Amino acid sequence: MALISNKNAFRNYEVIETYEAGLVLTGTEVKSISHSQGSINESYITIKKNEAFIFNMYVAPFEQGNQFNVDPNRLRKLLLHKREIIKLEFKSQKDGLTIIPIKIYWKNNKIKLEIALAKGKKLFDKREDIKKRDLKRESLKY
């Protein structure tokens, strides 16, 4: 079950490959995410110095967090294997792909982030997907 999901990911991007990554969070951020108080709709992932970071991920400040709350849009580090980071960096630079977050979920009492290598859709691709979806709905009616 996803705690937070990126609803625009499959509408705006064609997902090619997915990965699972850990997140480096503070205690109050974990509490906020467990209450589904956050957003990854406009966030993206970049790789700098062989480390993956997620930008623009919003995590609401925890109400009882007082002094332990941090900046809601701060830069957060992703935990991936070195070979995965190298592969992601190579494919994103070579093929011009984007690394986007798909969803945040629990796995064995740890918060995980599903990320994807994706290619941005053009407007005509989006229209084509809508037509296919409508045709599929029509065929199911009869």
Query: Which is higher by pLDDT, 87 or 126?
Result: 87
Looking up tokens 């999901």 gives: 5
Q: Cα separation of 33 and 62, whole Å? A: 9
Residue 18's contacts (CB-CB under 8 Å, 6 or more residues apart) are: 102, 114, 115, 116, 117
- Mean of pLDDT values over 115-132: 89
pLDDT tier for residue 124 given thresholds of 50, 70 and 90? confident
Please report the pLDDT score of residue 65 as a whole number.
66
Mean pLDDT score of the chain: 90
pTM flag (> 0.85):
no
Give whole-number Cα distances, 98 to 9, 51, 115, 125, 142, in Å: 11, 16, 10, 17, 39
Dump the DSSP string for 68-99.
G---TT--EEEE--HHHHHHHHHHHHHS--EE
- Residue 136: its H or E element: helix 123-141
- At residue 62, the 3 state secondary structure works out as coil
Q: What domains are defined for the chain?
A: 2-141 (2.40.280.10)
Q: Cα separation of 133 and 108, whole Å? A: 36
- pLDDT at residue 142 greater than cutoff 80: no
Query: Which is higher by pLDDT, 68 or 99?
Result: 99
Q: What is the pLDDT of residues 52-84, one digit of tens each?
A: 999 999 998 888 767 777 778 889 999 999 999
